[in-house]
Structure 1
Amino acid sequence: MNAMTSLSFDIQKSTEFCSIHQIQMVSYRGRPFCEKCSLESLDRGQKEHHHAVNTMVRNKHFEGARLPRRHQESGFSNYQVLNNGQQNAKAQCASFAKDFIGDAVRNLIMVGRTGTGKTHLACAVARNVLDKRKYARYITSEDMADEIAKAWKIADDSEANAIHRFTDYDLLILDEYGLHDRHENRLQLVHKVLYSRYDEGKATMLISNLTLDELQKDLGDRLWSRFQHDGLTLVECNWADQRMQGGAA
């Protein structure tokens, strides 16, 4: 008797009925079970596995984005709107995130004085993008310049490799541009990344306390032109410092 014949003798119709599906159960080696319940259990197991994998992937995406701890839960829903300017900034950033998720690649520049919620909105964009399994990275201009400048000190790394890493993200959020990167060599490293992302057709969010006129002069005509090439969203945050008023920034 082969294995299949033996198995057919082990599985028999049971005299019991499933209390859930009201169908006759089968018996395997004397133990009754419902075929539908078994299939549903298997389906649940597959769904649980799929959910666990998705959760792991999502967590990896969020870890890789390196959002500031203070803003890891910053979203559009908890962004405080107290004036028309904030409402407009929120709407522009939400629209940018929606379009980006839909594969529309353009850049966003957000300028304004300190404490106006620019980083909150940037992280809200990042969280929406990350939820859709896109790769995003948040970093300050100073930290990015540091990482690239120090790359040659690390085994098997180089300036070119570091620039490639920052180019590779679907969305780069470059915060505090113009604040601590004023040395010409450091600024050139930052600009190399921006040029590289333009060449690769990647979207960049650039955030600065400079005015638009100051920022345009700082970037230079060639880089400013490239920022606008595929479409540019400009967000100006000109209201009072929300930190001084107890708001979230």
Structure 2
Amino acid sequence: MERSSSNPLGASLARLQQSAGISGTQPAKCPDHGDYIATVLREGQLSGCPECSRQAQAVAEAMERDEQQRQAVSARLERQLGQALIPLRFKTKTFENYRAATDGQRVALAAARRYAADFPANAAAARCLMLLGHVGNGKTHLAAAIANVVMVEHRRNVLYTTVSRVCQQVKASYGKEAQQSEREAIEVFRTPDLLILDEVGASYGTDFERMVMFEVINARYEEMKPTLVISNLFAEALAGALGDRTVDRLREGGGVVVVFDWQSARRGVA
């Protein structure tokens, strides 16, 4: 019986190449990568350099990864902005829309900008910031502007809260049906890279408030994490409201104090 000399695999490959418009191969030269074997396509066209194709594919994949990372960062920032709990009135407050018409306002704005710009160094030193003085002069505005820079530019997390909310959360841990312990309640405020405490001394320091503020600020002090304090009190009165031990921890490491001692500008700022 005569043995067939045909190659079924080769014939199938030839038919596949023909259906794909491939008529064969021939030597070719890439100006960047040298010689290669090119596939001859329809109308005599040659396939491109495989190394060029590989590099183009690598660039495309890198661009896709960068875009995925950008979207992930954007989503994380959106979550952080929501989790920061900055009041709606202050979410759009920036350094650019802070009204600095007087020398005092310009000094306060410059100090806030500097603290935000240098936040990595301030965080490493656990350097706190205290915005103290008259009501209605934009202390919370500047704190919100700092928070936005810290989150967006430095990729750190921020939590804004008031002393009354902190005290309420800690007090809620004392009940029989409490869902967390006092230690767990304090932990919520120890964790953020920057904690903004507003309305400090608003009730002029009850014993309970002094105890809670010391526990929160001391926990952050021990973990080398900075705290931003906003108060309508000046330095001496703040020490009376919080206690010397707490204020000492805020001042340690070069804590910055910005005094707002001019008349309220609230009527001039929308």
3-state DSSP of counterpart to 1:177: coil
Q: Identity of counterpart residues, as a percentage? A: 29
Q: State the SS of the aligned residue for 1:163.
A: helix
Alignment of 1:75-224 (within 5 A): 75-102=94-121, 103-131=124-152, 132-153=154-175, 156-180=179-203, 182-224=205-247
Residues 72 and 13 of structure 1, relative CA distance in 2, 3 Å threshold? farther
How does the TM-score come out when normalised to structure 1? 0.82
TM-score, length basis structure 2 = 0.76
Q: 2:89 aligns with which of 70, 89, 102?
A: 70
2:3 equivalent in structure 1 = none
1:184 CA drift (Å): 2.1
**1:143 partner letter:** R
What is the CA deviation profile of residues 91-123 of structure 1, one whole-angstrom value per residue up to 9, with x for unaligned ones?
Answer: 111111222223342011111111100000001
Quote the Cα distance in structure 2 between the aligned partners of 1:158 and 1:41. 51
RMSD: 2.8
Deviations 1:33-76 (A, max 9, x none): x7676555433322221111111111121111111111112111
Number of equivalent positions: 230
SS at match of 2:266: coil
Letter in 1 for 2:109: K
Distance (Å, rounded) in 2 between the aligned partners of 1:45 and 1:152: 51
Letter of the 1:195 counterpart: N
* Residues 145, 181 of structure 1: 8 Å contact kept: no
Letter in 2 for 1:114: V
Give the CA deviation at 1:242.
1.8
Equivalent residue letter for 1:48? E
Larger radius of gyration, structure 1 or 2?
Answer: 2
Give me the whole-angstrom Cα distance separating, in 2, the residues matched to 1:25 and 1:123. Answer: 58
CA distance in 1, matches of 2:204, 2:186: 16
| Contact kept in structure 1, 2:84 and 2:157, CA below 8 Å | yes
Aligned twin of 2:27: none
Deviates more, 1:115-124 or 1:161-170: 161-170
For 1:244, what is the secondary structure of its paired residue? helix
Cα separation, 2, equivalents of 1:72 and 1:14 = 62
Amino acid in structure 2 at the alignment position of 1:236: V
Closer/same/farther in 2, CA of residues 35 and 14 from structure 1, 3 Å limit: farther
Q: What is the identity, as a one-letter code, of the residue corresponding to 2:137?
A: T
Asked if the contact 2:205/2:242 (under 8 Å) is kept, the reply is: no
Q: Secondary structure at the match of 2:267?
A: coil
Aligned-pair CA distance for 1:77: 1.5
Letter in 2 for 1:133: R
Structure 2: unaligned runs, 5 residues or longer? 1-8, 23-37
- Report the CA distance between 1:14 and its aligned residue: 5.9
Please say if residues 13 and 25 of structure 1, whose CA atoms lie closer than 8 Å, have aligned partners that are also in contact.
yes
Contact 1:110 1:235 in 2 (8 A): yes
The answer to whether the 8 Å contact 1:25/1:35 transfers is no
